[in-house]
Amino acid sequence: MKRIFCAAIAALTLFSFTACQKEPAPKEFTAEKLKPIFQEAITAARDEEINQVLPILSSSEDEGGALIFDMVGLTDEDIKAAGISISPMNIKAYGVAIIAPAEGKTEAVQTGLDNFVKAQQQSFANYLPDQGEIANSAILTTREDGIIVLVMCEDAQTVYDSITATLDEKLK
């Protein structure tokens, strides 16, 4: 009887220990690992014409990067890793960004992207109404893993779904 009792206690203890263990923390990805994933996610979500016309930037040091980073109110210090593609001309409401904020910079990145969207909405409110609708339909979210995604373009939901599917696959 003692053996059965001891075996039951041991089994219960083992069960309790394994049941209480937390899920492993998500992998910590470096900026070097994230940048190509972000670029791949954006590239796969867009058509070839947009991919050729609007480059994907990861730093203000990239060609045209200073202008784009200024448009979204961000600096390199705000970002751990990024893929940002924005129309620099005020004839198209277009912005796609995937950003892993630097530590302590989540709010700054969210605010910068939100201000960019609001500026686009204002800019197109009475000028090019079709672009105003695109700006008003922008999607700006922060994922559970802390990555911030902005999609402001035609068929935004489809582009967003494609980006998040790629991120989910590559970051697991």
Is 23 within a domain?
A: no
Is 131 within a domain?
A: yes
The whole-number pLDDT of residue 3 equals 45
Is 17 within a domain?
A: no
Is 4 within a domain?
A: no
The whole-number pLDDT of residue 172 equals 87
Token output for 18: 């394994």
Rounded Cα distance between 47 and 80, Å, is 27
Q: Which domain holds residue 103?
A: 29-170
Q: By CB neighbour count within 10 A (0-12 exposed, 13-18 middle, 19+ buried), where does 127 fall?
A: exposed
Residue among 119, 117, 159, 124 nearest 138 (CA):
117
pLDDT per position as a tens digit, 24-51 = 334 578 999 999 999 999 999 999 999 9
Is 33 within a domain?
A: yes
Is 138 within a domain?
A: yes
Is 112 within a domain?
A: yes
The whole-number pLDDT of residue 5 equals 38
Residues of the chain with pLDDT below 70 are: 1-27
The whole-number pLDDT of residue 27 equals 53
Is 18 within a domain?
A: no
- Domains in the chain: how many in total? 1
